[in-house]
Structure 1
Amino acid sequence: MALSSACFQVPTLLLIPSRKQLLHTHHNSQLQRHRRTAFQTFCSRRSSPSEPTQKENEVFEFERLFSNLNQATLKREPGSLSSAIVLVAGTTVGAGILAIPSVTQESGFLASTVTCILCWVFMVVTGLLLAEVNVNTMCELGSGGVSLVSMARRTLGTAGVQIACWSYIFIHYALLVAYVARSSDILTNFLGIPLWESATLFSLIFGCICYFGSQRFIGAVNGILVFGLIASFAALVAVASGNLQWDALLQANFDAVPMSIPIITLSFVYQNVVPVVCTNLEGNLSKVRTAIVLGTAIPLVLFLVWNAVVLGSIPNLEMGSGKIMDPLQQLQSTTGVVGPIIQVFSLLAIATSYIGFVLGLADFLADLLKLPTGQNQPLPYLLTLIPPLALSLLDPEIFFKALDFAGTYGVLVLFGVLPAAMSWSERYSSSSPAVKLPQLVPGGRLTLSLIIGGAGCVIFSEIFENFGHP
C-alpha cells in the first residue's frame, strides 16, 4: 500500500551474528515459506543453557534486513534515503507550525526556542526507539510493514495493544479532521466553491495519490510539496521580516513554558511514518537513524525561524492575557501581500503532513484488520479518508480544538510513554531475544526513565491545570 507496500522478502543467505549480513530475495513461493521459517527461527531463537554466556549479549549486525521487491518486474527497488528524509520532514511540517506562535507568545522567543529544541530531542529519541522496536519486530515476525499494534502486542501484551490502538486512532483522526477542515477553508477562499466540495476535493486528490501512487511517485510528490513549502516559507519570511523588531525576540518568560509544550510536541509528530520508513529502507538501521534525525532537523529550523518572524514582527500581541490567538490572522492584517503567501504556505504544510498521516493510519488499520501485506487494500483507505471528511464538515471550526486535544493528551502517551515502555520491555524482559540488534538510543534505563518521567509530568500537569481547579 503506497509507501508501505514494499514486499517483504525472506533471506536466501544467513551469516553468523558477528558478521555483516546481506539478505537477498527470491520470488519462488515454496522457497519463501521455508526461508521465512528459517528467518523467524534465527531472529527469535533463544540461547540454550549449553551456549556460552557471552553469546547472549552478542550484537547482530546487518547491511539490510530484507529487500524490497517490485512484484511486477521482480527486481529489487532499494529504498531512497532522500525520499525517507522528505517523508519525515513533510509529515512533521504540518498544521502544528501554524499554531506554534499562538502558544509561545506568552513565554517569548528565547524561552520558546529552548523549549522547541528540547521537544525536538525528545521526539527524535522516541522515534528512534520506535524504529528500534519496529526492526526487531520485523525480524521476529518475519514480515515487513509491521505497525504499532504488532509492536505493542509483542512487547507489552494486551494492555499495550489497547493503549496503542485507541491512542493511535484518536490522534490520527483528530489531526486528519483538523487538516481537512483547514484545507477546505483555504480552498473555498481560493476557488469560490462550497465548503463540502473543497473538503471532498482535497481528500479525493491526496487520498488517490496515497492509494494508487507507487513508492517513487509519492516520494516525488512529497518532494515537490516540500520544495514548494520551503519556497513559500522563504517568501513569507522575506516579506514579513521587514517589520521585525529584534528587541521583541529578547523576551523570555520561562514560567509560561509548560502551557506550550503539548502543541510544540504535537508539531514534531512524525512517528506514525516510522514503520513505513523502516520498511522502505529495508531495515537498514543506519539509514533509518539518518532519515529521522535529518528529517526532523529541517522542521526544527523552520519552526524557529517562523516563531521568530511572528513574535518579532507583531509587537502588539496580548502578552500575559492567556488568550490563544491565530497569529496568521495577525500577519495577514499587516499587509495585503502576506495573505496569499500564508494561504499557500498553510495549504502545502497541511498537504505534506496529510500524506504522511494517511499512509500511517491506512497501514495501521490494515495491520489491525489482518489484511495481507504487499498489495493495496481499499478498505483501510476508505476508513482513513471518510470519517475525517465527515467530521470536518459537521464542525468547520474544529481546527484548533482538534490540535489542542490531540497534543495535550494523545501525543505524549502514544509517542512518548509507549515507545520507551516497549523498548524497556524488549531490552530488559526475561523473554528478550538472545540475538540482539544494534540499539539506536544509548543510555539504557536512565534514558528510558527520563522519557517516561518527562512525558508523565507534562500529562499530569495538564490534567491538573484543566481539571484540578474548581
Structure 2
Amino acid sequence: MQHSGCRWESAALFSLVLGGTCYFGSQRFIGAVNGVLVFGIIASFGALVAVASGDLHLDALLKANFQAVPMSIPIIVLSFVYQNVVPVLCTNLEGNLSKIRTAIVLGTAIPLLLFLVWNAVILGTITNLDLGSDNMIDPLQQLRSSNGAVGPVVEVFSLLAIATSYIGFVLGLTDFLADLLKLPAGRGSPAPYLLTLIPPLALALLDPEIFFKALDFAGTYGVLVLFGILPAAMSWSDRYSALSPSMNLPRLVPGGKLTLSIVLGGAGYVIFSELLEKFGH
C-alpha cells in the first residue's frame, strides 16, 4: 500500500513539475530546462557507457542476427519520431530555415550516436547471447547483476530521457490540440494541457507497465501508419492523382514513385508481419 501511494505521488509530481514548466514557462526557460536535462542525459550516458564497457569484446560486434531486424524496426522508428514537434520548432525558431534544419539534423544525429554506442556496448559486453535462440534476454538485467554501479546510473539516465521526451511531446500535442479545438495556444487556455497531461497520468497510475506494453504497439501501428504510410500516400495522391489540383509545388523528396513505394511497402511489410506474428499462431 505504501509503495502504491509513493507511485501515485511520484507520477503526479512528475506530471505537475514538467507540465507546469511547459504551461507557465517561457520559450527561453523551457529551452534552458531542456538543455540542462539533455546535458544530464549525455553525462549519465557517458558514465553508463564507461561503467558497462569495462569488459568490451570487439569480436562480439561482428556477430549478427538478421532475422531479428524486422522485430527491431518498430522500436527504431519510435525512437526517432520527431515530426510532431516540428511545428512547435518552426514557431520557436521563427521560421528560420537554416536554424530549423540544424535543429532537426543535430536533434536526430545525437540520439542516433547514443543509440549506436549503447548497442555496441550491449552487444560487445554480453557475449553469451544465443543468436539462434527464441529466449528473450534482458541485457540491462545482466549488466546490473554483473556490476552494481549500473543500476543507479540507468535510473538517472532513464528519468532524464523520459523527461526530455515528455517536454517535447507535451509541447507538440498541446499545440496540435489547440489548433484542432480552435483554442488559443500557450497560457491562453489550459484545456489543451489538461487533455494532454491527465489521460496519460491516469493510464500510468492504473497500469504502471502500460508504457512498455504500448511501445511495440505504437511503433508498429501508430508511428508507421501516421509517419510512414499516411505521408507517402498523401504525397502520392498530391503528385499523381487526377483529382488533385496541380499547384506546381517543389518536390522535397526525390525518387518519384520508387521512393514512395519503398516507404509504403516497408511500413506495410512491418505492420503485416507483426499482425501475422500476433494472430497467425
For the 8 Å contact 2:78–2:219, the answer to whether it is kept is yes
| 1:377 paired residue among 189, 205, 211 | 189
Change (3 A) 1:419 1:282: farther
Higher RCO (CA-CA < 8 Å; seq separation 6+): 1
Partner of 2:54: 242
Question: How many Å apart are 1:373 and its aligned residue?
Answer: 4.2
Partner of 1:352: 164
Using the alignment, how far apart are the partners of 1:377 and 1:337 within structure 2? 45
Q: Given residue 413 of structure 1, which amino acid in structure 2 is its aligned partner?
A: V
Question: How many Å apart are 1:444 and its aligned residue?
Answer: 2.8
| 2:255 paired residue among 421, 431, 443 | 443
Q: Give the secondary-structure state (helix, strand or coil) at the position aligned to 2:203.
A: helix
Partner of 1:331: 143
Using the alignment, how far apart are the partners of 1:426 and 1:210 within structure 2? 36
For the 8 Å contact 2:23–2:186, the answer to whether it is kept is no
Q: Give the secondary-structure state (helix, strand or coil) at the position aligned to 2:146.
A: coil
1:296 aligns with 2:97: no
Q: Give the secondary-structure state (helix, strand or coil) at the position aligned to 1:333.
A: helix
Structure 2 segments unaligned to the other structure (5+ residues) = none
1:416 aligns with 2:228: yes
Partner of 1:277: 89
Using the alignment, how far apart are the partners of 2:199 and 2:136 within structure 1? 28
Mark the structure with the bigger radius of gyration: 1
Structure 1 segments unaligned to the other structure (5+ residues) = 1-187
| 2:67 paired residue among 248, 255, 270 | 255
Using the alignment, how far apart are the partners of 1:291 and 1:243 within structure 2? 35
Q: What do you get for the CA RMSD once the two structures are aligned?
A: 2.2
Deviation sequence 1:44-74 (CA, Å, 0-9, x none): xxxxxxxxxxxxxxxxxxxxxxxxxxxxxxx
> Under a length normalisation based on structure 1, what TM-score does the superposition of the two structures give?
0.56
For the 8 Å contact 2:80–2:108, the answer to whether it is kept is yes
Q: Give the secondary-structure state (helix, strand or coil) at the position aligned to 1:252.
A: coil
For the 8 Å contact 2:23–2:187, the answer to whether it is kept is no
For the 8 Å contact 2:24–2:187, the answer to whether it is kept is no
For the 8 Å contact 1:266–1:411, the answer to whether it is kept is yes
Using the alignment, how far apart are the partners of 1:283 and 1:221 within structure 2? 22
Question: How many Å apart are 1:421 and its aligned residue?
Answer: 2.2
Using the alignment, how far apart are the partners of 1:394 and 1:325 within structure 2? 27
1:308 aligns with 2:120: yes
1:389 aligns with 2:166: no
Question: How many Å apart are 1:382 and its aligned residue?
Answer: 0.7
Using the alignment, how far apart are the partners of 1:409 and 1:324 within structure 2? 22
Question: How many Å apart are 1:275 and its aligned residue?
Answer: 1.5
Question: How many Å apart are 1:349 and its aligned residue?
Answer: 0.8
| 2:175 paired residue among 363, 382, 389 | 363
Q: Given residue 416 of structure 1, which amino acid in structure 2 is its aligned partner?
A: G
Map 1:207-226; keep pairs closer than 5 Å.
Answer: 207-226=19-38
| 1:229 paired residue among 25, 28, 41 | 41
Change (3 A) 1:373 1:361: closer
Deviation sequence 1:196-219 (CA, Å, 0-9, x none): 100111111100011111111111
> Under a length normalisation based on structure 2, what TM-score does the superposition of the two structures give?
0.90
Q: Give the secondary-structure state (helix, strand or coil) at the position aligned to 2:208.
A: coil
Give the aligned length: 278
Using the alignment, how far apart are the partners of 1:198 and 1:410 within structure 2? 28
Change (3 A) 1:376 1:433: farther
For the 8 Å contact 1:289–1:440, the answer to whether it is kept is no
For the 8 Å contact 1:421–1:452, the answer to whether it is kept is yes
Using the alignment, how far apart are the partners of 2:114 and 2:26 within structure 1? 29
Question: How many Å apart are 1:380 and its aligned residue?
Answer: 0.9
Question: How many Å apart are 1:400 and its aligned residue?
Answer: 1.8
